[in-house]
């Protein structure tokens, strides 16, 4: 698994519960613009997991929109500072079994 720790330029961010809710809601809103179904999402204190269906938009564009929208929403609610590191980790699911396993994995994180 790739890690973005090497991309940190300062202290790691810790989102509180309200901030995690803001980011989650924002990602759902942005996904509608792409016509992309979100199967599962877990916004943790320092990272985000999203399982979404394929859309005909490059994954780096989608991730960039999600990160930008999340940062803008947090700023609107008074957050100041850097939120995300550069980069992301992506994994593709090519069958129902791997999709279900990934959804279960993310849902377990959403309870933390």
Q: What percent of the chain has pLDDT over 70?
A: 88
Average pLDDT over every residue of 37-51: 94
Comparing 9 with 108, the larger pLDDT belongs to 108
Residues shown for the chain: 112
What was the pLDDT predicted at 53?
A: 94
Q: Tell me the pTM.
A: 0.83
pLDDT for position 10: 57
Gap between the Cα atoms of 86 and 99, Å rounded: 26
pLDDT of residue 112: 60
Give, in degrees to the nearest 5, the angle at Cα 72 between 70 and 76. Answer: 115
**Does the pLDDT value for residue 3 go beyond 80?**
no
Q: What is the CATH number of domain 12-110?
A: 3.30.70.1290
What share of the chain in percent tops pLDDT 90? 71
Q: Is the pLDDT of residue 50 over 60?
A: yes
The radius of gyration of the chain's CA atoms, rounded to the nearest angstrom, is: 14
Query: Is the model's pLDDT at 9 over the cut of 80?
Result: no
Task: Map out the domains of the chain as residue ranges.
Answer: 12-110
Positive or negative, the Cα torsion across 101, 12, 87, 81? positive
């Amino acid at each position: 698994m790739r890690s973005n720790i090497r991309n940190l330029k300062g202290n790691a961010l810790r989102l509180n519960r309200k901030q995690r809710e803001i980011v989650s809601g924002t990602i759902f809103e942005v996904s509608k613009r792409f016509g992309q179904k979100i199967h599962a999402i877990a916004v943790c204190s320092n990272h985000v997991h999203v399982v979404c269906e394929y859309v005909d938009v490059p994954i780096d564009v989608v991730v960039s929109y999600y990160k930008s929208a999340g940062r803008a929403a947090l700023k609107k609610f008074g957050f100041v500072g850097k939120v995300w590191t550069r980069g992301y980790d992506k994994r593709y699911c090519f069958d129902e079994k791997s999709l279900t396993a990934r959804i279960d994995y993310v849902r377990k994180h959403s309870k933390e």
